[in-house]
Amino acid sequence: MSKINVLMFGWEFPPFKSGGLGTACYDLCKGLSKNNTNVTFVMPFAPEGATAKFVKLVGAHEKIKHLRLRTIKSPLTPYLTSKEYEHYYQHTQSKNKHLYGQNVFDEVARYTAAAAQIAKEETHDIIHCHDWMTYQAGIIARKTSKKPLVVHLHATEFDRTANNPDPRISHIEWLGLKEADTIITNSQFSKNNIIKHYNIPADKINVVHWGIDNEPLPQHPSIPLKEHKTVLFLGRITIQKGPDYFVEVAKRVLDYEPSARFIIAGDGDMLPRILHRTAELGIADKVVFTGMLKGADVHHAFQTANIYVMPSVSEPFGLVALESMKNGTPIIISKQSGASEVITHALKVDFWDVNEMTNKIVSVLRHTALREELTHNTLREIQKFNLEEPARKIKEVYQHPYRGKH
């Protein structure tokens, strides 16, 4: 079978990433590279001191064959809000003359404007776009090259905002879904949300659950907090991820297990509110805020914890649950997540049910046998997840892209 050449538009790619979307794109490209697929990945990238502008980096990661990385100079990251962008602009415009405009939508427009030229220059059979920021670029690229457009929705604007969407973003999201030749999303949960909020035909949407890399984990010789019963929250501190439910549960758990400690690893717009709430509840001395973790520090956090809790309000998948399992850390996950569709050995609870979440955490902390059984089962179950299977399914989408008419 001949190679498929993919022109992929995204916002982050390791080591230039800010969150789970970068990990997902990296893993997908790695899996595709083993499935006779060439990928040219187009992303905005402007770290401190960078000089990249429409620069093509060939072989950006030696472990991923057939991958070329094109960069567009831009400060925009996948989860940057309009307010955060304006703050960035005000504090950096004197140093960063390359900035296009004063809001996130100008920056998306700037990224989109490059799409036509890139589509002319790059050999490709398929255009694959990740999340709303790239959809307009994909539409422009398709007009240029006449190649099929696959849009990949990792989270809807309704997921990210707990059903309070920015109408400008939801319109772009709807436009991309409508114009696409076919759609990929990460769970049946997410597919149902697309149908509900955007009235997209079900036969146009392909569900591909995520996998995880099976490379060995970094090990840490000492775990300083293991003397405590430790509960971990790791993710963006935003309304979608449910950190407010986590701190309410922490207060209840401490009523039963006063020696418990809680780690909140991440950053986001709700961080000041969560910090304030821990003080109001009188548990500030029992909660450690680490900020955003990267690389080996993420695995260290999992290896430190006795249990990981993912109380997401609306989670299209939840790759972090697989990362916890890979580290042998038992998990409690929201039933409102795609991960709950495919993970068997997890404790599952509605995100809003703080009493049941409390009961489950206390049980795991108190009962060593339960904790050890969960650890054993998660380590065994994680073996069924890999990168090749989701990549194989996505390649099938590439080969038969017209599942629905836009």
pLDDT tens-digit readout, 26-46: 888 888 888 888 888 887 753
Cβ count within 10 A of residue 196: 11
In this structure, which topology does domain 229-384 adopt according to CATH? Rossmann fold (3.40.50)
- Under a CB-based contact definition with an 8 Å cutoff, are residues 398 and 39 in contact? no
pLDDT in tens, 83-106: 444 544 454 444 444 433 456 677
Measure the CA angle with vertex 183, ends 16 and 383; round to 5°. 65
Mean per-residue pLDDT of the chain: 84
First and final CA of the chain: distance in angstroms? 28
Provide the pairing of β-strand 307-310 with 229-234. parallel
| Alpha-carbon span 77 to 88, nearest angstrom | 11
Helices 388-399 and 20-33 cross at an angle (nearest 10°) of 70
Q: What residue spans in the chain does CATH classification 3.40.50.2000 cover?
A: 4-211+387-399, 229-384
The architecture in CATH of the region 4-211+387-399 reads 3-Layer(aba) Sandwich (3.40)
pTM of the predicted structure, to 2 decimals:
0.84
- Confidence check: pLDDT of 145 > 80: yes
Q: What percent of the chain has pLDDT over 90?
A: 62
- Under a CB-based contact definition with an 8 Å cutoff, are residues 12 and 18 in contact? yes
Spell out the alpha helix ranges (H) of 57-187: 82-92, 104-113, 115-121, 132-145, 157-160, 167-179
